[in-house]
Structure 1
Amino acid sequence: MTEAKAYAAQSETSGMTPFDFQRRELRPDDVRIDIDYCGVCHTDIHFAENDWGASIYPVVPGHEIIGRVTAVGDQVTGFKVGDAVGVGCMVDSCRTCTACNAGLEQYCQEGMVGTYNGKDRHDGSVTYGGYSDHVVVSDRFVLPLPEALDPAAAAPILCAGITTYSPLKHFGVKAGDKVGVLGMGGLGHMGVKFAKALGAEVTIFTRSESKVGEAKQQGADHVVVSTDEQQMAAAEGQYDFLLDTIPVQHDLTPYLNCLGVDGTHVLVGQIDTIEPSIHTGALIGKRRTLAGSIIGGIPETQEVLDFCAEHNITCDVEMINIQDINTAYERMKKGDVKYRFVIDMKSLKG
């Protein structure tokens, strides 16, 4: 066992505080990684504050991890000490089901093991995430970091990036397609960058007139203010694909009506019941598809890292010290971040 330093939530009201614990000894297929940077995802808040009723305290969040290999198990051949690597939202799966064999470990039939708040498949211990000085992970779930990527800005690619890249690729978004991105936070701004790199004509849908200029700066070809009835009416039937990154309940029908025949609306932000309900005519009348997507498998996560390196795509980040994580959480709740916080984990040693 090795001593680890971290920040953890001890209860749903405790906030994040310093926490010491022990990481396991290396198994034959394990990689030990000293963490340099860790992105801050809104999911971290949900687990820290038990919003979904599934938190196992103490919770050490963090599933956008960038660091360097410091040790490897005796069966590891793909990594060596000093390698720059990343770890995303999962650290294990059954590895034998149809989904796992297809490189879709996020859809493992036995359930993927989350990087934090998961149960280790070997010893039953609770997994602790990247708000810590190091992590020990099976080599199958470790990703080489392309040299061209800035490590700090690359961290959110491991969640926000793959979450938006995967549905664009799965549903075959291509050059010339008209793509709408709903919302312009950590997920939305990455969705714009990926859709543009794939050759699509991209429109951001935002509730705020004040964000029009900001949306254009992110690379959007057009902006629709969704609270403007005339703009929404003009958008009806115009889009091939909608990437919905809005994290709270919202009326889907006005957006569905913006799709043409065979258009697809994919939810990647909202994890909740759909309210208000959808009249099925919005789907049946134009053979539209309403779908969902969650992160991506290990092969596709490597693909998105390589894609970002090739196309010079990074997440817009604001660096913070770990001691400021509670303030960062409060700012995130207010939407006061452009567009992703990343923790400089050197601050944990200070």
Structure 2
Amino acid sequence: MKKNLISTMILILTAVTALFAQNNDERIPAKGFAVYEENGHFKPYEFTRHVVGDHDIQIEILYAGICHSDLHHVFADWGEEKYPMVPGHEIAGRVVAIGKDVTRFKVGDYAGIGCMIGSCRHCDACKHDLEQYCEEGAIMTYHGIDRYNGNEYTQGGYSNTYVVTEDFAIKIPQNADMSKVAPLLCAGITSYSSIMQAGIKKGDKVGIAGFGGLGHMGVQYAVSLGAEVTVFDITEDKRGDALRMGAVRYVNVNNPEDLKGLDKTFDFILSTIPAKYEPIMYLKMLKFDGQLGIVGLPAFRNMPAITVADFVLPGARRKVFGSQIGGIKETQEMLDYSVKNSIYPEVEIIKADGKQIDEAYQNVLNGKVKFRYVIDMKTLK
């Protein structure tokens, strides 16, 4: 009882403080962990968020997932970056303040933020609930420029608070397992969206290539739809995990015996692989009119390739498509489906500590995580 009373008092105090800052047009103080240079280590960082606007909500961040994309940005694998950088686009927390015109949230609700916090709202992509493909550019949760708030440089979820327009926040059901929700906002929606695009149904033969953060979510969604799932990875370490999650077969691609007899056997293969590999190997495994969905994006220096000849010859009558996360409407659909069906990532919780985040990054690089690190931002000092 005493513990609940203290938590309620802290929530009220946080909301009052946020409201005071809003009414006085003062930027909201924030703190978290940032890298200050390419390949740098995580260190404490203090900064500010913009004020809570009429249509905005302020979230107290409770948990933040570590996505492989975070590593690519920290290490500038996809091009030049700006530092200091606070990564994190898998965010789950509690609403502590709302703007006067907010209708979808109230103080005390759970809310999440994924990879983007804004878009133009009027281009063809946005009108079709595909804000991630906004023709004017989706505004990324971090390492982005927020053109609707003074062109400020966005900072991510390895921090204690975030301010976002309610239209780009995801409602988290009160019965959700909050310690596991955050990775659904990237790993979950990325795998879910591509599986939905492929139209997977009961009895389909589905391959999941790469059994990490995205891949283990893809397995769970495909199994829940009644598909017969095969997992592809490069080690033996996760064979038991794949079978436990409902896969009927595990293929170690470094073992030639495991690969025998797989050509022309799959309706759909989802590639979540974030490193260099041979896409043509998976293309050959598809049946006629089968589909290869690609969501993993390796570093530019390790980018795999498919030639035109590959499409015309061994890839004839096979379809290849790429997919980026999902729109806000679909992300909400995914989250509701996941909670309803108890589909969550398997996570390892770490403290909000620079050294622990550094160690987690190294383990992700070495493939030694099962399956997602989540930072408990409540431990931030």
The TM-score bracket by the shorter chain reads over 0.9
Match of 2:71 among 37, 45, 58: 45
SS at match of 2:261: helix
Structure 2 unaligned spans of 5+: 1-26
| 1:338 pairs with 2:373 | no
Between stretches 157-166 and 324-333, larger displacement belongs to 324-333
* Alignment partners' CA distance in 1, 2:38 and 2:279: 31
Give CA deviations for 1:43-66 in whole Å, capped at 9, x if unaligned.
Answer: 111222222223111111111100
Match of 2:379 among 328, 332, 347: 347
* Alignment partners' CA distance in 2, 1:228 and 1:320: 34
Equivalent in the alignment of 2:360: 328
Match of 1:288 among 318, 326, 334: 318
Give CA deviations for 1:121-172 in whole Å, capped at 9, x if unaligned.
Answer: 1211101111111000011101110233201111100000001000100121
CA separation of 1:284/1:212 partners in 2, compared to 1, >3 Å: closer, same or farther?
Answer: closer
* Alignment partners' CA distance in 1, 2:191 and 2:237: 24
TM-score by length of 2: 0.88
| 1:25 pairs with 2:51 | yes
Equivalent in the alignment of 1:312: 342
Give CA deviations for 1:281-331 in whole Å, capped at 9, x if unaligned.
Answer: 566664101111110000000011011012110000000012111111111
User: Which structure 2 residues correspond to residues 49-88 of structure 1 after superposition, within 5 A?
Assistant: 49-88=75-114
Give CA deviations for 1:50-104 in whole Å, capped at 9, x if unaligned.
Answer: 2222311111111110001111111111111000111100000111101101111
User: Which structure 2 residues correspond to residues 79-118 of structure 1 after superposition, within 5 A?
Assistant: 79-118=105-144
Equivalent in the alignment of 2:13: none
Q: What is the number of residues matched between the two proteins?
A: 349
User: Which structure 2 residues correspond to residues 105-254 of structure 1 after superposition, within 5 A?
Assistant: 105-122=131-148, 123-254=150-281
Structure 1 unaligned spans of 5+: none
TM superposition shift of 1:218? 2.3
* Alignment partners' CA distance in 1, 2:179 and 2:64: 8
Alignment check: 8 A CA contact 2:280 2:310 kept: no
* Alignment partners' CA distance in 1, 2:167 and 2:109: 15
* Alignment partners' CA distance in 2, 1:241 and 1:181: 9
CA separation of 1:283/1:192 partners in 2, compared to 1, >3 Å: closer, same or farther?
Answer: farther
Alignment check: 8 A CA contact 1:253 1:278 kept: no
Identical-pair percentage: 45
Larger Rg: 2
Give CA deviations for 1:228-247 in whole Å, capped at 9, x if unaligned.
Answer: 33432311110000000111
Alignment check: 8 A CA contact 1:253 1:282 kept: no
* Alignment partners' CA distance in 2, 1:290 and 1:110: 26
TM superposition shift of 1:277? 4.4
Alignment check: 8 A CA contact 2:284 2:315 kept: no
